[in-house]
């Protein structure tokens, strides 16, 4: 397998509707010497405070959220379609109860101490800049509550400065 190379951010051709919405990503973070990863299908990229940023959303109940709240960084790894079943597993099983990275046969690599999934083909490395819990009081489209939050397990939005893009 080819080694990762930095990818110039100004040359990125990244469709967030396809990458997040269709292909999904693996959000990975580390805290207290524990690494955990989970599948995400909600996210985006853009500019804020004159910096390139990635936005991800994590439910309150997720073990990854506990680690991300303690961490100052995270990554999002995008994998080939052959890992679709693995990503489905990573989204359904909690890292609290088992070592799902090991059980999924994925490998952790790191970039300057920030963990990512080595089997990925495109990696977004982020330094956490901001987090904000979503609240039902601020949801304008009231159908969202019925569709996504029947159990009141809301998301927190995390905004990360993109410090590096890696590609094979």
Domain boundaries, the chain: 5-167
pTM exceeds 0.85 = yes
Reply yes or no on whether the pLDDT at 1 is more than 60. no
Tens digits of residue pLDDT in 60-72: 999 999 999 999 9
CA–CA separation, 129 and 59 (whole Å): 18
Q: pLDDT tier at 3 (50, 70, 90 boundaries)?
A: confident
CA nearest neighbour of 19 among 47, 52, 41, 46: 41
CATH of domain 5-167: 2.30.110.10
Reply yes or no on whether the pLDDT at 141 is more than 80. yes
- To the nearest whole percent, how much of the chain has pLDDT over 90? 77
CA–CA separation, 102 and 58 (whole Å): 22
């Amino acid at each position: 397998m080819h080694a990762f190379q930095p990818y110039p951010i100004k040359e990125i051709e990244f469709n967030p509707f396809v990458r997040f919405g269709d292909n999904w990503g693996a959000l990975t973070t580390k805290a207290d010497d524990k690494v955990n990863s989970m599948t995400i299908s909600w996210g985006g990229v853009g500019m804020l405070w004159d910096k390139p940023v990635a936005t991800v959303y994590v439910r309150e109940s997720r073990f990854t959220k506990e680690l991300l709240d303690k961490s100052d960084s995270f990554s999002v790894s995008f994998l080939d379609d052959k890992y679709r079943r693995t990503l489905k597993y990573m989204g359904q099983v909690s890292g609290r109860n088992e070592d799902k990275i090991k059980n999924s046969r994925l490998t952790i690599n790191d970039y300057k101490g920030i963990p990512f999934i080595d089997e990925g083909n495109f990696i977004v490395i982020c330094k956490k800049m901001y987090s904000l819990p979503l609240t039902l009081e601020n949801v304008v489209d009231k159908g969202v509550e019925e569709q996504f939050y029947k159990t009141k397990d809301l998301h927190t939005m995390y905004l990360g400065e993109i410090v590096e893009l890696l590609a094979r």
